[in-house]
Amino acid sequence: MNRTIRIPVPAEFDFSVNLDYLSRSPDESLYRIRDGRLFKTIPCGSRSPFFEVAAEPGSLLVLPLDDEPWSPETEREVVAYTRDWFDLDNDLSPFYELAGRDPLLRDVVSRLYGLRNMGIPDLFEALCWGIIGQQINLAFAYTLKRRFVEAFGRQVRRGDVDCWLFPEPRDIAGLDVGDIAALKMTTKKAEYLIGVARLIADGELGRAVLLEGDIRSAEKRLVSIRGIGPWTANYVLMRCLRYPSAFPIDDVGLHNAIKAVLRMEQKPTAARIKELAVGWRGWEAYATFYLWRVLY
List, in sequence order, every residue forming a beta bridge with 47; answer none if it has no partner.
44
Smallest CA-to-CA distance from 196 within 166, 221, 164, 228 is with 228
- The smaller minimum CB distance to DNA, of residues 154 and 188, is found at 188
Which amino acid is present at 258? Answer: I
In whole angstroms, how close is the CB of 66 to DNA at the nearest point? 30
In whole angstroms, how close is the CB of 161 to DNA at the nearest point? 23
Residue partners of 176: CB distance under 8 A and separation at least 6:
none
- The smaller minimum CB distance to DNA, of residues 61 and 268, is found at 268
Task: Rule CB under 7 A: say whether 271 interacts with DNA.
Answer: no
- The smaller minimum CB distance to DNA, of residues 130 and 153, is found at 130
Cα of 194 vs its chain's centroid, Å? 20
Task: Rule CB under 7 A: say whether 23 interacts with DNA.
Answer: no
Phi/psi-derived region of residue 100, left when phi > 0, alpha when psi is between -120 and 50, beta in every other case:
alpha
DSSP 47: B
Task: Rule CB under 7 A: say whether 274 interacts with DNA.
Answer: no
Task: Rule CB under 7 A: say whether 251 interacts with DNA.
Answer: yes
DSSP 56: E
Task: Rule CB under 7 A: say whether 140 interacts with DNA.
Answer: yes
Task: Rule CB under 7 A: say whether 253 interacts with DNA.
Answer: yes
In whole angstroms, how close is the CB of 2 to DNA at the nearest point? 33
Binding mask 64-103 for DNA (x = CB under 7 A): ----------------------------------------
Task: Rule CB under 7 A: say whether 134 interacts with DNA.
Answer: yes
The dihedral formed by the CA atoms of 136, 139, 140 and 144, expressed in degrees to the nearest 10: 120
CA distance 124 to 142: 16
Q: Is 214 a catalytic residue?
A: no
Phi/psi-derived region of residue 246, left when phi > 0, alpha when psi is between -120 and 50, beta in every other case:
beta
- The smaller minimum CB distance to DNA, of residues 25 and 59, is found at 25
| Sites for DNA among residues 168-197 (CB under 7 A) | 181, 184, 186-188
- The smaller minimum CB distance to DNA, of residues 16 and 187, is found at 187
Identify whether the C-beta of residue 167 lies closer than 8 Å to the C-beta of residue 153.
yes
Smallest CA-to-CA distance from 290 within 58, 106, 81, 28 is with 106
In whole angstroms, how close is the CB of 277 to DNA at the nearest point? 16
| Sites for DNA among residues 218-247 (CB under 7 A) | 225-233, 235, 239
List, by residue number, the catalytic residues.
251
The contact set with DNA (CB under 7 A) reads: 133-141, 143, 181, 184, 186-188, 225-233, 235, 239, 248, 250-253, 256, 267, 292, 296
